[in-house]
Amino acid sequence: MRKSTIIVLALFAALFLAGISAGEPERVLDQAIRICLSCIGIG
């Protein structure tokens, strides 16, 4: 593998772990539920 590929993969992994540690998956899921409920007229 080329050096640039390894650097990009390492950057992706670092940002992925930073997002998980900041609680982003729960926030995204919460927003998705709210948008879906408002679209169908419940929320």
Is the pLDDT at 38 greater than 90? The verdict is: no
- 43 contacts 34 by C-beta, under 8 angstroms: yes
Provide the pLDDT for residue 43: 56
Residue, of 43 and 33, whose pLDDT is higher: 33
- 37 contacts 43 by C-beta, under 8 angstroms: yes
Q: Left if phi > 0, otherwise alpha if psi is -120 to 50, otherwise beta: which for 23?
A: left
Is the pLDDT at 7 greater than 90? The verdict is: yes
Distance CA 16, CA 24 (A): 10
Average pLDDT over residues 17-42: 87
**What is the 3 state secondary structure string of the chain?**
CCHHHHHHHHHHHHHHHHHHHCCHHHHHHHHHHHHHHHHCCCC
